[in-house]
Chains A and B, each alone.
Chain A
Amino acid sequence: MSGINIIEGRMAPLDQANVDTDQIIPKQFLTGVTRQGYGINLFHDWRYLSGSEKKVNPDFSLNSPLYKGANVLITRENFGCGSSREHAPWALADYGFKCIIAVSFADIFYGNCINNQLLPVALTSKQMDVLFDMVKQDPDTSININLSEQQVVCGETRFTFDIAPHHKTNLLKGLDAIGQTLELNTDIENYEQKRQVWL
Chain B
Amino acid sequence: MPATLYEKILDSHLVNKLGDDLLLYIDRHLIHEVTTPQAFAGLAEKGRKVRRPDLTFGTMDHSISTRSLALDACGPQNQLQLNTLATNCAQHGIELFPVGHKNQGIVHVIGPQLGLIHPGMTVVCGDSHTATHGAFGALAFGIGTSQVEHVLATQTLKQSKAKSMLVKVDGKLGLGVTAKDIILAIIGKIGHAGATGHVIEYAGEAISSLSMEERMTVCNMSIEAGAKAGLIAPDSKTIEYIQDREFAPKQAHWDEAVAYWNTLYSDDGAEFDTVVNLQAQDIEPQVTWGTNPGQVIGVNGKVPNPASFEDTIVKNSAEKALSYMGLTPGQSINDIDVSHVFIGSCTNSRIEDLRAAAKVAALGKVQSSVTAIVVPGSVQVKQQAEDEALDKIFIDSGFEWRLPGCSMCLGMNDDVLQEGDRCASTSNRNFEGRQGRGARTHLVSPEMAAAAAISGKFTDVRKLGA
Interface string of B140-156 (1 = CB under 8 A from A): 00111111011001111
Q: In whole angstroms, how far apart are the Cα atoms of A197 and B316 in the complex?
A: 53
Q: In whole angstroms, how far apart are the Cα atoms of A106 and B38 in the complex?
A: 22
Q: Does B27 contact A (CB under 8 A)?
A: yes
Q: With A111-B144, A187-B16, A188-B25 as known contacts, state yes or no: A198 contacts B253, CB within 8 Å.
A: yes
A residues 152-199 near B (Cβ < 8 Å) are 164-166, 177-179, 181-182, 184, 187-188, 191-192, 195-199
Q: With A18-B317, A34-B38 as known contacts, state yes or no: A82 contacts B419, CB within 8 Å.
A: no
Q: With A33-B84, A35-B38, A195-B25 as known contacts, state yes or no: A18 contacts B410, CB within 8 Å.
A: no
Interface string of A48-70 (1 = CB under 8 A from B): 00100000000000000000000
B146 near A116: Cβ-Cβ < 8 Å: yes
Point out the residues of chain A lying under 8 angstroms from B437, CB to CB: 26, 45, 50
Closest to B78 in A: A31
Q: Does B463 contact A (CB under 8 A)?
A: no
Specify which of A16, A35, A116 is in contact with B316 (CB 8 Å cutoff).
A16
B15 near A177: Cβ-Cβ < 8 Å: no
Q: In whole angstroms, how far apart are the Cα atoms of A87 and B383 in the complex?
A: 35
A112 near B144: Cβ-Cβ < 8 Å: yes
B residues 134-177 near A (Cβ < 8 Å) are 142-147, 149-150, 153-156, 158, 160, 162
B154 near A188: Cβ-Cβ < 8 Å: yes
Point out the residues of chain A lying under 8 angstroms from B27, CB to CB: 199
A82 near B431: Cβ-Cβ < 8 Å: yes
Q: With A31-B412, A45-B433, A188-B155 as known contacts, state yes or no: A81 contacts B193, CB within 8 Å.
A: yes
B192 near A18: Cβ-Cβ < 8 Å: yes
Point out the residues of chain B lying under 8 angstroms from A35, CB to CB: 38, 145
Interface string of B119-141 (1 = CB under 8 A from A): 00100001110000000000000
Specify which of A27, A78, A164, A199 is in contact with B412 (CB 8 Å cutoff).
A27
Q: Does A124 contact B (CB under 8 A)?
A: no
Give the secondary structure class of A's interface.
loop
A198 near B316: Cβ-Cβ < 8 Å: no
Q: With A22-B429, A23-B431, A107-B226 as known contacts, state yes or no: A181 contacts B316, CB within 8 Å.
A: no
Q: Does B102 contact A (CB under 8 A)?
A: no
B residues 256-288 near A (Cβ < 8 Å) are 256-257, 260
Point out the residues of chain B lying under 8 angstroms from A140, CB to CB: none
Point out the residues of chain A lying under 8 angstroms from B160, CB to CB: 164, 166
Q: In whole angstroms, how far apart are the Cα atoms of A97 and B99 in the complex?
A: 38
Q: Does A108 contact B (CB under 8 A)?
A: yes
CB distance from B207 to the nearest CB of A (A): 23
Closest to B118 in A: A199
Q: In whole angstroms, how far apart are the Cα atoms of A181 and B77 in the complex?
A: 34
Q: Does B53 contact A (CB under 8 A)?
A: no
Closest to A177 in B: B150
Q: In whole angstroms, how far apart are the Cα atoms of A4 and B278 in the complex?
A: 46
Point out the residues of chain B lying under 8 angstroms from A142, CB to CB: none
Interface size on B, residues (CB 8 A): 74
Point out the residues of chain B lying under 8 angstroms from A137, CB to CB: none
Point out the residues of chain A lying under 8 angstroms from B438, CB to CB: 50
Specify which of B19, B34, B192, B320 is in contact with A30 (CB 8 Å cutoff).
B34
Q: Does A115 contact B (CB under 8 A)?
A: yes
Interface string of B293-305 (1 = CB under 8 A from A): 0000000000000
Interface string of B238-255 (1 = CB under 8 A from A): 000000000001100110
A184 near B433: Cβ-Cβ < 8 Å: no
A84 near B41: Cβ-Cβ < 8 Å: no
B77 near A115: Cβ-Cβ < 8 Å: no
Point out the residues of chain B lying under 8 angstroms from A112, CB to CB: 144-146
Q: Does B104 contact A (CB under 8 A)?
A: no
Interface string of B18-48 (1 = CB under 8 A from A): 1111010101000000110110010000101
B256 near A108: Cβ-Cβ < 8 Å: no
Can you list 29 A-B pairs with a CB-CB distance of less than 8 A? A20-B429, A22-B431, A30-B412, A31-B34, A31-B80, A33-B37, A50-B419, A50-B438, A78-B193, A81-B192, A83-B429, A104-B193, A107-B162, A108-B142, A108-B143, A111-B144, A112-B146, A115-B147, A165-B20, A166-B160, A178-B153, A184-B23, A187-B15, A188-B154, A188-B155, A191-B15, A198-B254, A198-B256, A198-B257
Interface residues of B (CB under 8 A from A): 15-16, 18-21, 23, 25, 27, 34-35, 37-38, 41, 46, 48, 51, 62-63, 77-78, 80-81, 84, 118, 121, 126-128, 142-147, 149-150, 153-156, 158, 160, 162, 192-193, 196-197, 223, 226, 228, 249-250, 253-254, 256-257, 260, 292, 313, 316-317, 320, 410-412, 419, 429, 431-434, 437-438
Known: A77-B313, A84-B143, A84-B144. 14 other contacts (CB 8 A): A18-B192, A20-B292, A27-B412, A30-B62, A31-B77, A31-B412, A78-B192, A86-B38, A107-B197, A111-B144, A115-B144, A165-B19, A181-B23, A195-B25
